[in-house]
């Protein structure tokens, strides 16, 4: 008998029929003798609708006219999960399973005060553990908690993954099963490369990079939490027929286990290829090359919360001037340009150039730590296809290249094949 947290995303609870299907999954695990807690998202599209409603409301005066009261935002957008948790509890009860719904404040899931993007600080699992011991299923509304101000908080978009992993840690669960609309984590996006393979296992660290670098399976924060608390996280499909799945202790269901590196027997050099669109590149040309110049550029950008990612510096021939190239999300480009123009004199650049709509393609694998020349293989392969690389960054277990977006598909497929990730037919 195990203690498991099951999480179902928006598409899995998109309508009453699917909620009923989810209930069958839950009942199956419960009938197998496991202690079960469930975390649900709002119905697909619901949170977007709620966010839209807030955005259509008049803005609050006195805050520059550009903000909403974040506490009220949270109170509104958290409501989608209240509905699905209640509906799932009823569906379970109708199948003869003892079930009770829980909102964040009832547990409580305590967060910090960053309304709209709050972080979980503590979850009191006592009551739920007690009830699970008596055979009751806890159905928990994801995405929400309660702040120190005693008001509802939300964890940022996609936050119910984080709710699930944090709950699993608090309940000392043996596993956190993330049921979603795909049957696991793939070597790359199968919509771009049909030869992508489902991974049986991936390490926390690799998954963290995959999620941060564009793979959309899990919220980045949830993977961080899973890594810190060592929560075995299993990504699997909610569309599999609940009646055909074996939940016995030695069953091997289809999906991807995110686990400790030491639990992976066959370590690959490269595990996956991720991509992120909507990157902008900014180049400041002929900046004086002297101490403090980076600070004069990136300090003001940081103060305005512009997210700077890749940074490349190249020095001119006489060494007195340098070119500084870096990337920001497209959404931050206009703000970044404004900040840099305002600081033009202090920085001392001669020309500023920018390009929008670029793509960052990343290659990830823990095997890179012990293998030399992994990145060089990519550079050769991309060159052979005539793909120009605008910028490169590397770290211990990944490297990324910045490309024109028209090369996204070609680059992803080329790299997927050159590292031997293609499915063998
Ligand atoms: N319903 C929330 C959202 O759409 C949380 C989640 O789905 O994880 O962002
Ligand atoms: Mg989600």
Coil/strand/helix, residue 393: strand
Counting atoms of ligand 1 from 1, which one is nearest the CA of 158?
8
218 in ligand 1 pocket by Cβ < 6 Å?
no
Pairing of strands 256-259, 233-237: antiparallel
Tell me, letter by letter, the H, E, C secondary structure of 142-191. Answer: CCEEECCCCCEEECCCCCHHHHHHHHHHHCCCCEEEEEECCCCCECCCCC
Say yes or no to pLDDT of 63 above 80: no
Instruction: Give me the pLDDT at residue 181, please.
Output: 87
DSSP E strands, 188-290: 201-203, 233-237, 256-259, 272-288
- Tell me the best of 43, 142, 156 to mutate to test the pocket of ligand 1, counting ligand atoms within 8 Å of each CB and taking the most: 142
8 in ligand 1 pocket by Cβ < 6 Å?
no
The predicted-structure confidence for 275-286, as pLDDT tens digits, reads as follows 999 999 999 999
Taking residues 159-183, what's their average pLDDT? 96
Assigned token pair, 168: 């699993």
Ligand nearest to the CA of 164: 1
| DSSP single-letter state for residue 198 | B
Q: What is the percentage of the chain residues whose pLDDT exceeds 70? A: 98
The predicted-structure confidence for 221-262, as pLDDT tens digits, reads as follows 999 999 999 999 999 998 888 888 887 777 788 999 999 999
Q: What are phi and psi of 177, to 5 degrees?
A: -95, 120
Instruction: Give me the pLDDT at residue 66, please.
Output: 55
Residue 267 neighbours by CB under 8 Å, 6+ apart: 261, 366, 367
CA angle 368, 361, 186 (to 5 degrees): 75
How remote is the CA of residue 59 from the centroid of ligand 2, in Å?
28
How remote is the CA of residue 236 from the centroid of ligand 1, in Å?
18
Instruction: Give me the pLDDT at residue 320, please.
Output: 87
Start-to-end C-alpha separation, the chain: 38
| DSSP single-letter state for residue 373 | S
- Tell me the best of 109, 152, 158, 167 to mutate to test the pocket of ligand 1, counting ligand atoms within 8 Å of each CB and taking the most: 158
Strand partners, 363: 273, 399
The arrangement of strands across the sheet holding 321-329 comes to 311-315, 321-329, 272-288, 351-364, 398-404, 391-395
Counting atoms of ligand 1 from 1, which one is nearest the CA of 163?
8
Coil/strand/helix, residue 134: coil
Pairing of strands 137-141, 120-123: unpaired
80 in ligand 1 pocket by Cβ < 6 Å?
yes
163 in ligand 1 pocket by Cβ < 6 Å?
no
Coil/strand/helix, residue 285: strand
* Class of CATH domain 3-262: alpha beta
- Tell me the best of 84, 159, 217 to mutate to test the pocket of ligand 1, counting ligand atoms within 8 Å of each CB and taking the most: 159
Instruction: Give me the pLDDT at residue 150, please.
Output: 97
Would you tell me the crossing angle of helices 160-170 and 220-229 to the nearest 10 degrees?
A: 10
How remote is the CA of residue 158 from the centroid of ligand 1, in Å?
4
Taking residues 183-196, what's their average pLDDT? 95
Residue 329 neighbours by CB under 8 Å, 6+ apart: 278, 279, 280, 307, 309
Residue-averaged pLDDT of the chain: 94
* Burial of 114: CB neighbours in 10 Å, binned 0-12, 13-18, 19+: middle
Say yes or no to pLDDT of 134 above 70: yes
Instruction: Give me the pLDDT at residue 86, please.
Output: 98
The total number of residues shown for the chain amounts to 425
158 in ligand 1 pocket by Cβ < 6 Å?
yes
Instruction: Give me the pLDDT at residue 62, please.
Output: 57
The predicted-structure confidence for 250-260, as pLDDT tens digits, reads as follows 778 899 999 99
Instruction: Give me the pLDDT at residue 242, please.
Output: 85
Q: Which residue is listed with tokens 């997927």? A: 416
Residue 320 neighbours by CB under 8 Å, 6+ apart: 288, 289
What does pTM read for this prediction?
A: 0.91
Coil/strand/helix, residue 202: strand
How remote is the CA of residue 173 from the centroid of ligand 2, in Å?
21
* Burial of 177: CB neighbours in 10 Å, binned 0-12, 13-18, 19+: buried
Residue 85 neighbours by CB under 8 Å, 6+ apart: 40, 101, 102, 103, 139, 140, 141
Give the span between the Cα atoms of 335 and 304, in whole angstroms: 8
The alpha-carbon radius of gyration of the chain (Å, integer) is: 24
Instruction: Give me the pLDDT at residue 249, please.
Output: 74
Extents of the domains making up the chain: 3-262, 272-423
255 in ligand 1 pocket by Cβ < 6 Å?
no
- Cα torsion 291, 292, 293, 296 to 10°: value is -170
157 in ligand 1 pocket by Cβ < 6 Å?
yes
Counting atoms of ligand 1 from 1, which one is nearest the CA of 159?
8
Give the span between the Cα atoms of 107 and 37, in whole angstroms: 12
The predicted-structure confidence for 86-119, as pLDDT tens digits, reads as follows 999 999 999 999 999 999 999 999 999 999 999 9
Instruction: Give me the pLDDT at residue 84, please.
Output: 98
In CATH terms, 272-423 corresponds, of 3.40.50.700, 3.30.2130.10, 2.60.120.10, 3.40.640.10, to 3.30.2130.10
38 in ligand 1 pocket by Cβ < 6 Å?
no
How remote is the CA of residue 365 from the centroid of ligand 1, in Å?
28
Give the span between the Cα atoms of 43 and 9, in whole angstroms: 8
How remote is the CA of residue 263 from the centroid of ligand 1, in Å?
30
62: number of Cβ within 10 Å: 7
336: nearest Cα among 359, 356, 316: 356
CA 322 to chain centre: 35
Strand partners, 134: none
Give the span between the Cα atoms of 97 and 261, in whole angstroms: 37
160 in ligand 1 pocket by Cβ < 6 Å?
yes
Instruction: Give me the pLDDT at residue 61, please.
Output: 64
For atom 8 of ligand 1, which residue has the closest CA? 158
């Amino acid at each position: 008998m195990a203690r498991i947290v099951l999480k179902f995303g928006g598409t899995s609870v998109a309508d009453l029929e699917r909620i009923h299907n989810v209930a069958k999954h839950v009942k199956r695990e419960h009938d197998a003798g496991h202690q079960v807690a469930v975390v649900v998202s709002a119905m697909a599209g619901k949170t977007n609708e709620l966010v839209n409603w807030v955005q259509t409301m008049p803005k609050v005066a006195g805050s520059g006219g550009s903000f909403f009261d974040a506490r009220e935002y949270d109170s509104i957008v958290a409501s989608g999960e209240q509905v699905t948790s209640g509906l799932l509890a009823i569906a379970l009860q109708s199948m003869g399973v003892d079930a009770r719904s829980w909102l964040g404040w009832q547990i409580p899931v305590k967060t910090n005060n960053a309304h709209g993007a709050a972080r979980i600080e503590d979850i009191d699992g006592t009551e739920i553990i007690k009830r699970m011991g008596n055979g009751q299923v806890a159905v928990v509304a994801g995405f929400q908690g309660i702040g120190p101000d005693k008001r509802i908080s939300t964890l940022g978009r996609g936050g119910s993954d984080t709710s699930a992993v944090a709950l699993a840690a608090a309940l000392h669960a043996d596993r956190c099963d993330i049921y979603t609309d795909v049957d696991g984590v793939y070597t790359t996006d199968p919509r771009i490369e049909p030869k992508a393979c489902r991974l049986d296992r991936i390490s926390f660290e690799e998954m963290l990079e995959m999620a941060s670098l564009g793979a959309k399976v899990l919220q980045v924060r949830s993977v961080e939490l899973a890594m810190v608390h060592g929560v075995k996280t299993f990504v699997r499909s909610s569309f599999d027929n609940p009646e055909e799945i074996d939940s016995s202790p030695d069953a091997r269901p289809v999906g991807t286990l995110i686990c400790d590196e030491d639990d992976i027997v066959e370590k690959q050099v490269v595990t996956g290829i991720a991509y992120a669109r909507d990157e902008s590149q900014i180049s400041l040309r002929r900046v004086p090359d002297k101490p403090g110049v980076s600070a004069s550029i990136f300090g003001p950008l940081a103060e305005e919360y512009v997210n700077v990612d890749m940074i490349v510096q190249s020095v001119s021939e006489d060494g007195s001037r340098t070119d500084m190239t870096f990337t920001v999300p497209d959404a931050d480009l206009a703000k970044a340009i404004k900040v840099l123009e305002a600081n033009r004199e202090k920085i001392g650049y001669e020309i500023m150039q920018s390009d929008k709509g670029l793509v960052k393609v990343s290659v990830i694998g823990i095997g890179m730590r012990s293998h030399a020349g992994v990145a060089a293989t990519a550079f050769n392969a991309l060159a052979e296809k005539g793909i120009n690389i605008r910028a490169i960054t590397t770290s211990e277990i990944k490297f990324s290249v910045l490309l024109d977006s028209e090369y996204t598909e070609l680059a992803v497929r080329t790299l997927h094949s050159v590292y031997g990730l293609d499915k063998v037919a």
